[in-house]
């Protein structure tokens, strides 16, 4: 598993899980075809990363202040990248969610119709200060610690989920075969 730390302007913390040493599973994934194979991989990757998200939510500092908390804005995100060479690639990560669309619409309306710009300290604006700190701010790393602590568990879940989902998808594609 390879994890990458995000830059300040990137809005997502992602981790790349490379499935190696599971040649039989990868061959079956390729057999399923691009659409079904990626769907299976993406779904298994999502499930495997759930413990990392839970750990990140446990580790992230929560203040007593009112307002949107960083913990509540953490969510899983997946993306099916497709085939790169011989490898089937999907990415999974933890994202910091935007404000609800209703609130964003309201803020836009306020700005356009009344010329009022409200600056809200949303989790997406400050998560990097919590994770990486600044010259005069302590870092409280929660994503990297969560990935480090749970990566082996994530790999184990990925392996078992992938096996289960690949078998199920193959049965669905070829109902007559055992």
| Contacts to another protein by CB under 8 A | 3-8, 128, 132-139, 141, 144-145, 148-149
Q: Is 160 in contact with 51 (CB distance < 8 Å)?
A: no
Q: Which residue, 171, 174, 162, is CA-closest to 37?
A: 162
**What is the DSSP pairing of strand 2-3 with strand 74-84?**
unpaired
* Smallest gap from residue 39 Cβ to another protein (A): 29
**3-state secondary structure at position 76:** strand
* Smallest gap from residue 159 Cβ to another protein (A): 20
* Smallest gap from residue 139 Cβ to another protein (A): 5
* Smallest gap from residue 173 Cβ to another protein (A): 39
Tokens of 136: 């005069």
25 versus 147: smaller Cβ distance to another protein: 147
11 versus 39: smaller Cβ distance to another protein: 11
- CA 91, CA 106: separation in Å to the nearest integer? 33
- CA 103, CA 111: separation in Å to the nearest integer? 12
104 versus 125: smaller Cβ distance to another protein: 125
137 versus 160: smaller Cβ distance to another protein: 137
């Amino acid at each position: 598993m390879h994890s990458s730390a995000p830059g300040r302007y990137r809005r997502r913390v992602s981790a790349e899980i490379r499935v190696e040493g599971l040649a039989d599973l990868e061959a079956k994934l390729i057999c399923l075809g691009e659409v079904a194979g990626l769907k299976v991989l993406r779904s298994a990757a999502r499930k495997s990363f759930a413990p990392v998200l839970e750990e990140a939510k446990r580790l992230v500092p929560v203040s007593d202040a009112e307002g949107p908390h960083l913990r509540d804005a953490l969510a899983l995100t997946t993306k099916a990248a497709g085939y790169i060479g011989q490898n089937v690639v999907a990415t999974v990560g933890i994202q910091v969610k935007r404000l609800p669309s209703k609130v964003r619409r309201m803020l836009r309306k306020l700005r356009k119709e009344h010329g009022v710009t409200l600056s809200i300290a949303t989790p997406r604006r400050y998560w990097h200060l919590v994770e990486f700190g600044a010259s005069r701010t302590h870092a409280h790393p929660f994503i990297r610690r969560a990935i480090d602590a749970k990566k082996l568990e994530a790999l184990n879940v990925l392996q078992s989920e992938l096996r289960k989902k690949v078998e199920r998808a193959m049965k669905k594609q070829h109902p007559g075969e055992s």
